[in-house]
Copies of this chain bind each other. A is one copy, B any other.
Amino acid sequence: MTSTPDTAPVRRVPRPRADALRNRERIVTAAREMFVEFGPQVPYDEVARRAGVGNATLYRNFPERLDLVREVVLSLMARVTELAERATEEEADTFAALRRFTHAAADERIGALCPMLDGAFDKDHPDLTVERERLEEAVQGLVERAQRAGRLRADVGVGDLMVAVSQLTRPLPGTACVNFDQFVHRHLQLFLDGLEAPARSELPGTAATLEDLRRDSCRRS
């Protein structure tokens, strides 16, 4: 039906319908929650049900599972970046800022990112690279500021912080321990105490950036 006249290719999608946008957002939110609880292998249909949409809607928005995973990761990274920036701005004490960021990141269930690194997850996707740089910049700022102030030991890097926080906050699959969160914050607190200067021991290995993690973590067995 003579859809596109030669002049202007008639805005195909000038504005995706409002409910479509809303549904997409609800899907990402639901997926984030489900991934945290059950891992990224959770059935598509379950995600759709949690989101309150039909499964077809999910497939229309994210034909490939990896698309959905990437979207969730991006969403989480953006939130965590925001947390880092807020902590930097609002906390005068440099180490207090680090503490605040760490506990806040834990509440965002950043540990749920771990299982998404497996398989054929495209770590070099443009969107991811951009978001990762923003995240690293924000946290790097937090770390360096505390190190310059002599509050944070000098032999640790952004990678150490992020990996350890991720590991400590990973949910136990299948079980929903009622006071697991309490534990998490205890252990983060202990870990932070270990991060504080002056150092109480010598660390093996070397400090790592997020870039190091991206490069080294994709060796298949």
Q: Give A contacts to B, CB under 8 Å.
A: 37, 39, 114-115, 117-119, 156, 159-160, 163-164, 167-168, 170, 172-180, 182-183, 185-187, 189-196, 199-201, 203-205, 208, 216-221
Say whether, besides A183-B163, A185-B204, A172 and B221 are in contact (CB < 8 Å): no
Jot down 30 A-B pairs with beta carbons below 8 A, ordered by A: A118-B175, A163-B183, A163-B187, A164-B187, A164-B190, A167-B170, A168-B168, A170-B170, A172-B217, A175-B218, A176-B219, A176-B220, A176-B221, A177-B217, A177-B219, A178-B216, A178-B219, A179-B205, A180-B217, A182-B205, A183-B205, A185-B205, A186-B205, A189-B201, A190-B194, A190-B195, A193-B193, A193-B194, A194-B194, A194-B195
- Give the docked Cα–Cα distance between A37 and B216 (Å): 17
Partner of A173, one of B115, B159, B208: B115
A193 to B219 CA separation, bound complex (whole angstroms): 31
Contact of A160 among B172, B186, B221 (CB under 8 A): B186
A221 surroundings in chain B (CB, below 8 A): 37, 176
The distance from the CB of A13 to the nearest CB of chain B, in whole angstroms, is 36
User: CA–CA, A204 to B184, complex, Å?
Assistant: 10
Which chain B residues lie closer than 8 Å to A39 at the CB level? 173
A131 to chain B, nearest CB (A): 20
Q: Is the CB of A191 within 8 A of B190?
A: yes
CA–CA, A168 to B174, complex, Å? 19
Residues of B within 8 A of A186 (CB): 160, 203-205
Instruction: Check B216 against A174 for contact (C-beta < 8 Å).
Output: no
List chain B residues, Cβ under 8 A from A178.
216, 219
Q: How far is the CB of A35 from chain B (nearest CB, A)?
A: 13
Q: Is the CB of A183 within 8 A of B208?
A: yes
Chain B contacts of A163 at CB under 8 A?
A: 183, 187
Chain B min CB distance to A182 (Å): 4
Chain B residue contacts of A187, Cβ below 8 A: 160, 163-164, 167, 191
Instruction: Name the B residues within 8 Å of A175 (CB-CB).
Output: 117-118, 217-220
Given the known interface contacts A216-B177, A220-B176, the answer about A196 and B200 at a Cβ–Cβ threshold of 8 Å is: yes
